[in-house]
Amino acid sequence: MIPIQELLLFILAALILVITPGPNMIYLISRSITQGREAGLISLAGIISGFLFHVTMVSVGLTAVLFTIPYAYGVLKALGVLYLLYLAFQAVNPKNQGIFEARKDLKEDKPVKLFSMGFFTSVLNPKIAVFYLSFFPQFIKPEFGSVFTQSLQLGLTQMCVSFTVNFLIVISAAKMSLWFSENPYWIKVQKWFMASVLTGLAVRMAMDKAK
């Protein structure tokens, strides 16, 4: 099992990552604003279910890769650093839509479609698999025990963090979107804060890799 201090650091990293601008977050807020909280929560359930699929696949894959391919651990850690730097750039990229700059032109869909859209958005999104494959190895160490068990522990932890944050955002999406539309300065602050934290995580992981 992963030590508590490492797990707490992972929770902090997962928290920063889940509030970083991304398609899932923008879709959830947009859906919540146009169709209500219930629609947002159903969509969220679908997205979290898609995460579970990726966590299972990645846990099996990491177990196989780390024990069969030499230097795979170092390669995945390097990819993790590059991925975090990419997310930091995307956070401040002026071409990207911010989290709270939601769409308001979505048509209403039935619960089954809302869930399936959320689920397949996660399952068919290669960026989610890349995130797990590149980020998990930063916290997985052979001395902590089974790689498969550690992967599942990290995956379930990330899912809990993601669900909690997204749940809170969905139920307050309308008010938050209105507040940020009236205070656009804070959108820039939020983006640069995310970029700074992600860059800091990347630097930490790069230094840790070199030890």
Q: Per-residue confidence at 42, pLDDT binned at 50, 70, 90?
A: very high
Tens of pLDDT, residue by residue over 109-144, are 888 988 998 888 777 766 677 777 777 777 888 788
The overall average pLDDT reported for the chain is 76
Asked if 23 and 121 touch (Cβ cutoff 8 Å), the reply is yes
| Residue 83 confidence (pLDDT) above 80 | no
Give the C-alpha separation, 110 to 91, whole Å.
32
Q: Specify the pLDDT at position 30.
A: 76
Closest CA to 80 of 157, 158, 140: 140
Q: Per-residue confidence at 163, pLDDT binned at 50, 70, 90?
A: very high
Give the C-alpha separation, 28 to 125, whole Å.
15
Asked if 1 and 144 touch (Cβ cutoff 8 Å), the reply is yes
Pick from 32-41, 73-82, 159-168: least confident:
73-82
